Amino acid sequence: MIFEQIATGGCQSYLLGCSESHAAVVIDPNLAQADYYLGLAAREGLRIRYVLDTHTHADHFSAAKELGLKLGAPVVTHSLSPAPYANFRLADGEILRVGGMRLKALHTPGHTRDSMCVLADDRIFTGDTLLIGGTGRTDLPTGDPDALYDSLFGVVLKLDPALKVYPAHDYKGRSHSTIGAEIESNPRLQKRDRAEFIEMMRHLNLDAPVHLTEALRTNMSGGKTVAQFLSDAAAQVPFISMAELAERVGRNDLGLVLLDVREKDAFAAGHIPGAQHLPRGQLELRVNKELPDPTRRILVCCEFGQISTLAAATLREMGFTGAAALDGGVKAWRETGLPLRTL
């Protein structure tokens, strides 16, 4: 078996490959590493055949949909997963064959309703059901401490004590543990009485994950994250530096349409000399009147440089092939002490 563990902060993901057939599966891929899995697989001579999520993640963005689309690989989840892009759903006990490897799904609800652990040879990928020295929390949507008790004490902890445990999270840089070691020393597993375990899980008082709503929105729907939206837009537009714009302003000849897409008040309070005003919210509807020549070079600017990127991408999509975005925004321009005009 070819095996790589990829950590992103506290999130752990895994690339598992069959050394004979070179078929591979990625487990719990993180969106921030989407290109890295492809590079790793290429380096190891593997073809990723499946992309698997052990559960609906609430704390980070899954790369399952993106990788699945890029690779033409099925996205594997438990059958209760709400993700509409999941197209290979496993029920408890079912086996996924990846080349010569056999991955067995064990339904282990508790952290979420759709949680599963995946057994592969001498190891088990426990998602957030069992962590090293901990367990997944049960206070987020579809969490259930009663179900987690059954999944842990009735299923996972009954497995071979020598099985290596690879969780979906570890915040202390540890790579893995074993079932036996967890039974012995995991503090949460010392509460072996159901009522005591549930009581403990109900009173952990954990902070909500930073990106909770965005992670659930995107992981449950397959929609884009804000960062993805911005990076997709940025990939479609060229940028012009602040220094170049400053030089054009200095010589009093912009040589392009400088389009400020901020709101009216911000534009009136101070804009780059020569800028034309067209708020982002009205862009598509007023574009024909305000920008009659689609072949002109257009440089879009805003306060921080993000809305201008989105606006420039929209303009390109509408046929303004000369649209570019300012690499920076009016805020940085102002702070550098470059000239501004007021209305």
CA dihedral sign of residues 62, 63, 66, 68: negative
262/305 Cα distance (integer angstroms): 11
Q: How far is the CB of 301 from Fe ion (least distance, A)?
A: 40
Q: How far is the CB of 129 from Fe ion (least distance, A)?
A: 9
Which lies closer to Fe ion via its Cβ, residue 128 or residue 260? 128
Asked if 170 touches Fe ion (CB under 5 A), the answer is: no
Of 128-136, 177-185, 259-267, 272-280: span binding Fe ion (CB under 5 A): 128-136
Which lies closer to Fe ion via its Cβ, residue 128 or residue 327? 128
101/93 Cα distance (integer angstroms): 15
Ranges of H-type helices in 186-340: 194-202, 212-221, 226-234, 242-250, 264-269, 283-290, 307-317, 330-335
Which lies closer to Fe ion via its Cβ, residue 186 or residue 314? 186
Asked if 182 touches Fe ion (CB under 5 A), the answer is: no
Which lies closer to Fe ion via its Cβ, residue 85 or residue 320? 85
Task: Please report, as a single letter, which amino acid is at residue 320.
Answer: F
CA dihedral sign of residues 149, 150, 152, 153: positive
Which lies closer to Fe ion via its Cβ, residue 128 or residue 182? 128
323/313 Cα distance (integer angstroms): 8
Q: How far is the CB of 209 from Fe ion (least distance, A)?
A: 9
DSSP designation for 74: P
List phi, psi (to 5°) of 256: -160, 170
Number of residue whose CB is nearest Fe ion: 128
Question: Among residues 242, 268, 249, which one has the least CA distance to residue 330?
Answer: 242
Over the window 73 to 112, marking each residue x when it contacts Fe ion by CB under 5 A and - when it does not, the resulting string is ----------------------------------------
Asked if 128 touches Fe ion (CB under 5 A), the answer is: yes
Of 38-46, 52-60, 157-165, 201-209: span binding Fe ion (CB under 5 A): 52-60
Q: How far is CA 254 from CA 114, 245, 246, 278, 299, in A?
A: 57, 8, 9, 17, 10
Of 90-98, 121-129, 174-182, 305-313: span binding Fe ion (CB under 5 A): 121-129
Which residues contribute to the site for Fe ion (CB under 5 A)?
57, 128
